[in-house]
Structure 1
Amino acid sequence: MNAPRPCSVDELRTLFLFEKLTEDQLAWLCEKGRVENFDVGQVYDEGEPATCFYVLLEGSVVLSRRVGADDVEVSRTSDRGVYAGAFQSYLGDRVPQNYNGSLRVTEPSRFYVLSADNFASMMRDWFPMAVHMLEGLFFGNQSTKQAVGQRERLLALGQLSAGLTHELNNPAAAALRATATLRERVAGMRHKLAMIASGSLHAQTLPVLVGLQEEAVEQAAKAPDLTPLETSDREDEVADWLDDHGLEGGWDIAPVFVQAGLDVDWLERVAEVVDESTLEGAVRWLNYTVETELLMNEIQDSVARVSTLVGAAKQYSQLDRAPFQVVDVHELLISTLQMLGAKIGPEVKVVKEFDRSLPRIPAYPGELNQVWTNLIDNAVSAMGGKGTLTIRTARDHDQLLVEFRDTGPGMTPEVRERIFEPFFTTKPVGEGTGLGLDISWRIVVNKHHGDLQAVSVPGDTRFLVRLPLELPKEQS
């Protein structure tokens, strides 16, 4: 940068930004401002205190914004009168007064430069009504985004709560039903045992029956999975054996034995150790024992399902963890899928192509779960609740890639260009706020220094999330 040069009212008058100003106003600008020459290179960097307002008089400039570790070019121009810098200084200390981008020149260039304080005074004194309107627009837009963003999170929380309630209700109801039935079977088992004990059993017979009971319990724990046809054939065999031995209601007893993996050969062993008068009581007692074991297994499975869902909810919300830590992305994805199970629905096939060799990464897990929720929800919505959702993880150079792919109709180029804009949505009124992808972009790009992109053709839409494998320098 060279020493300041004299300012020319005549030159300022030729700029579109100042062409409507009076002679006194132009003279004030020349008095308060200055003209400066800049060699090729940086004028200011994003994030630095915004001290000056710059107007291009001659030369070429490039405006850029920082995305992760890279500076992305936003604009390149040689048009006289383009401006940059501290143009929000009129808002005062109500907003951070830092440059929201970077400015550099690609050839020797000349600028009109006005200090931020003088620019703020000019705006407030010359255009008071415009300043009030701009303030209202700026802060109103911020408030609207905050309110709608909060609504977006509350809607997502409500949907997840409803889905979680539905998912928890099924195993809880199953456990209640199994507990009620178990109580009946235990009472029946006590009754039959009393009948057997009061009968004409030999002293050595009861220990043998108890041994068969233990064997039945062990067999129930490792019963094979049968096809419907195999199950039907075995139930017929067991029911026929029961009928042949004078046991009434064999069709009610047979399914329990078959489910536990017990067959006619095992029943023959029971018949060998008891006489005909006590056979029915012994068989029904053993049947109660087997059914009791199966019911306890059902209760155990239901409680385990509840525990899994609660664990998924804890993992999803990250209630017991620090906001920033090293995490396994796959754990976050799985917990989100579990939380969204009811919303995804049975007609969406979820394919997980996970590279489990990927390392854990530094991240804000609760906020990444919000990103996964938004992208999965959008994919399911795009497919109309029917199709294939593929979630893939892979290493992409020094980044971890998470890809969400759906088989929906795809996006037009016009829609794809706008999807990350705040409040833009293709959903019907009342079904979308238009902030889901905007929030996701800010979480991935601004907070994690990663990248979020979308590519789409009919039948194949992909959202690509890239996250750094290592802690950003400013957070290390």
Structure 2
Amino acid sequence: MTVQPSPCDPEELRSLFLFEKLTDDQLGQLCRSGRVEVREAGPVYAEGDPATCFYVLLEGTVVTSRRVGADDVEINRTSQRGVYAGAFQAYLDDQVPQLYTNSMRVPVRSRFFVLSAQEFSRIVHDWFPMAVHLLEGLFFGNRTFQQKVSQRERLLALGSLSAGLTHELNNPAAAALRATSALRERVAGMRHKLKILAGGPYRQADLDTLVGIQERAAERVAKAEQLGPLDASDQEDAVADWLDGHGIAGGWDLAPVFVQAGLDEEWLDQVAAAVDAELLESALRWLNYTVETELLMNEIEDSTARISGLVNAARQYSQLDRAPYQVVDIHELLDSTLQMLAGKIGPEVTVVREFDHTLPKVPAFPGELNQVWTNLIDNAVSAMDGPGTLTVRTSLDRGRLAVDFLDTGPGVPPEIRDRIFEPFFTTKPVGQGTGLGLDISWRIVVNKHHGDLEVTSEPGNTRFRVCLPLTAAATPDAEETSA
């Protein structure tokens, strides 16, 4: 690209807001230290290259962009005289990597005042030593502050999730404990009943028949379908009547277990036909112990499977055993977050998953995306504050992966819609919100993943949309330029 030198006029520099307070001597030194360049339409510098120059626009138009995968996404376009870009962090010297944090081009012939990074740093240190210390403190203080508030937000989310996870784990653990205690009693009863059977006047053929019936009953338990309350009550009455009709005492106590296992009057007829009449009651009570044992073992299996699922969801959510940056299936992250937040979402909120599982995996920081999902889901549930529907949808949007979080709450009022991504801005009562969730989410999506986070809202239909590049080259948080 052709660069044409041009004379430097101190008075022209004085007309720029950046230099209007400088003395005549300082303006003269600027002209001697720097240069004026005329650039034809084309690139000026590229993101990630060593930051060698500080550019101030004198005339023309500049366009700055950020790299997203193989594309450059425009982030600013301006013709305002005096805007600056390039090595404006050179005053920090080697305390931070001196690289261009974006790309800049000129769509039309433009003029710049240009200082080398070394000259820019020297002038700032010589002329504004106090300002340098203030700017260094502001730069590193802001970075530390962002890290601290982000860590605090994560800890607050972790505390909420831990409480919910403890509740979710307690339910199946308590169920497994109760089932284990009951199982111990039933096994003791089976041993007692087996002793009676073994000591009774029963033929080997009778015992073989009972064992066969026991095995078939266990198979029926495994295939039993859950009946509704009314159907189950009707079936229990029918089975109790059958037992009473065959002289079985306390049939009403045996009936619920048989019905829960899917054993009806037809099955009882088969048992009655297979054993002698004097053996029927002992056989049915022994089979009742067998069925109860199978049901209790199923309950223990379901409970422990639930615990295992929650632990796996917690591991997926935390990403503790995985690399911080990897190619991930977004749906796995969404499922783990929804499972972790199930207790907080509560039974009043209907969760609808509309996932497009044909979408490709994307490169991302999964642990941080899970924090974004947590913040957006938490906001949606808080907004509805009671019964409602939370819809989580994935789709392809203009070559990017889109994740939508829709809620049926009252919506975001238009007068505050432009402020919701500001740090510390919150509509929640004092003590219930930090005002950092959406700010941190925006930084994770936009700065770290080169994506977009936007909101559309009306009463009964609020949508937060996260768009992620399919091939984004994720980078650490970059500082914005002023151009």
Distance in 2, Cα, partners of 1:319 & 1:395: 29
Task: Give secondary structure in 2 for the equivalent of 1:217.
Answer: helix
Distance in 1, Cα, partners of 2:20 & 2:204: 116
Is contact 1:196–1:278 with CA below 8 Å preserved after alignment? Answer: no
Instruction: Name the counterpart of 2:296.
Output: 295
Distance in 2, Cα, partners of 1:31 & 1:24: 11
Instruction: Name the counterpart of 1:43.
Output: 44
Is contact 1:455–1:461 with CA below 8 Å preserved after alignment? Answer: yes
Change (3 A) 1:83 1:456: same
Task: Give secondary structure in 1 for the equivalent of 2:454.
Answer: strand
AA aligned to 1:155 is L
Q: Within 5 Å, which residues of 2 pair with 1:261-272? A: 261-272=262-273
Deviation at 1:145, TM superposition (A): 0.7
Task: Give secondary structure in 2 for the equivalent of 1:204.
Answer: helix
Instruction: Name the counterpart of 1:74.
Output: 76
Change (3 A) 1:8 1:179: same
Deviation at 1:63, TM superposition (A): 4.0
Distance in 1, Cα, partners of 2:175 & 2:382: 31
Task: Give secondary structure in 1 for the equivalent of 2:38.
Answer: strand
Distance in 1, Cα, partners of 2:430 & 2:49: 41
Is contact 1:327–1:365 with CA below 8 Å preserved after alignment? Answer: yes
Deviation at 1:177, TM superposition (A): 0.6
Instruction: Name the counterpart of 2:136.
Output: 135
Instruction: Name the counterpart of 1:466.
Output: 467
Q: Within 5 Å, which residues of 2 pair with 1:318-329? A: 318-329=319-330
Which segment is superposed worse, 6-15 or 165-174? 6-15
Is contact 1:201–1:274 with CA below 8 Å preserved after alignment? Answer: no
Q: Within 5 Å, which residues of 2 pair with 1:97-112? A: 97-112=98-113
Change (3 A) 1:409 1:64: farther
Task: Give secondary structure in 1 for the equivalent of 2:88.
Answer: coil
AA aligned to 2:251 is G
Deviation at 1:141, TM superposition (A): 1.5
Deviation at 1:269, TM superposition (A): 4.2
Unaligned runs of 5+ in 1: none
Instruction: Name the counterpart of 1:330.
Output: 331
Instruction: Name the counterpart of 1:343.
Output: 344
Is contact 2:449–2:474 with CA below 8 Å preserved after alignment? Answer: no
Task: Give secondary structure in 2 for the equivalent of 1:200.
Answer: coil
Change (3 A) 1:417 1:99: farther
> Does residue 1:282 correspond to 2:283, yes or no?
yes
Distance in 2, Cα, partners of 1:90 & 1:404: 43
Instruction: Name the counterpart of 1:253.
Output: 254
Instruction: Name the counterpart of 1:194.
Output: 195
Is contact 1:54–1:83 with CA below 8 Å preserved after alignment? Answer: yes
Q: Within 5 Å, which residues of 2 pair with 1:199-210? A: 199-210=200-211
Is contact 1:67–1:445 with CA below 8 Å preserved after alignment? Answer: no
AA aligned to 2:65 is R
AA aligned to 1:177 is R
Which segment is superposed worse, 221-230 or 411-420? 411-420
Distance in 2, Cα, partners of 1:322 & 1:19: 50
**Deviations, residues 79-124 of structure 1 (Å, cap 9, x unaligned):** 3x33333332222222332333444334433333223223223323
Task: Give secondary structure in 1 for the equivalent of 2:179.
Answer: helix
**Deviations, residues 15-73 of structure 1 (Å, cap 9, x unaligned):** 3333332333223223322233233333333333333333333x222242316233324
Change (3 A) 1:25 1:326: closer
**Deviations, residues 306-332 of structure 1 (Å, cap 9, x unaligned):** 222222222223334344444332222
Deviation at 1:407, TM superposition (A): 1.4
Is contact 2:4–2:39 with CA below 8 Å preserved after alignment? Answer: no
Distance in 2, Cα, partners of 1:295 & 1:148: 48
Q: TM-score, normalised by structure 1?
A: 0.89
AA aligned to 1:21 is L
Task: Give secondary structure in 2 for the equivalent of 1:53.
Answer: strand
Deviation at 1:265, TM superposition (A): 3.7
Distance in 2, Cα, partners of 1:260 & 1:390: 36
Is contact 1:316–1:369 with CA below 8 Å preserved after alignment? Answer: yes
> Does residue 1:64 correspond to 2:64, yes or no?
yes
Distance in 1, Cα, partners of 2:157 & 2:453: 21
Is contact 1:344–1:385 with CA below 8 Å preserved after alignment? Answer: no
Which segment is superposed worse, 305-314 or 166-175? 305-314
Change (3 A) 1:432 1:121: farther
Distance in 2, Cα, partners of 1:188 & 1:15: 94
**Deviations, residues 221-261 of structure 1 (Å, cap 9, x unaligned):** 11232221221122122223333444433322211111112
**Deviations, residues 398-447 of structure 1 (Å, cap 9, x unaligned):** 33322221112222345333434444443344433444334333443444
Q: TM-score, normalised by structure 2?
A: 0.88
Which segment is superposed worse, 168-177 or 372-381? 372-381
Unaligned runs of 5+ in 2: 476-483
Task: Give secondary structure in 2 for the equivalent of 1:248.
Answer: coil
Structure having greater relative contact order (Cα 8 Å, sep ≥ 6): 2
AA aligned to 1:72 is E
**Deviations, residues 329-350 of structure 1 (Å, cap 9, x unaligned):** 2222212211111121111111
Instruction: Name the counterpart of 1:310.
Output: 311
> What RMSD in Å do the two structures reach over aligned CA positions?
2.7
Instruction: Name the counterpart of 1:426.
Output: 427
Instruction: Name the counterpart of 1:242.
Output: 243
Distance in 2, Cα, partners of 1:160 & 1:473: 27
Instruction: Name the counterpart of 1:357.
Output: 358
Distance in 1, Cα, partners of 2:13 & 2:328: 56
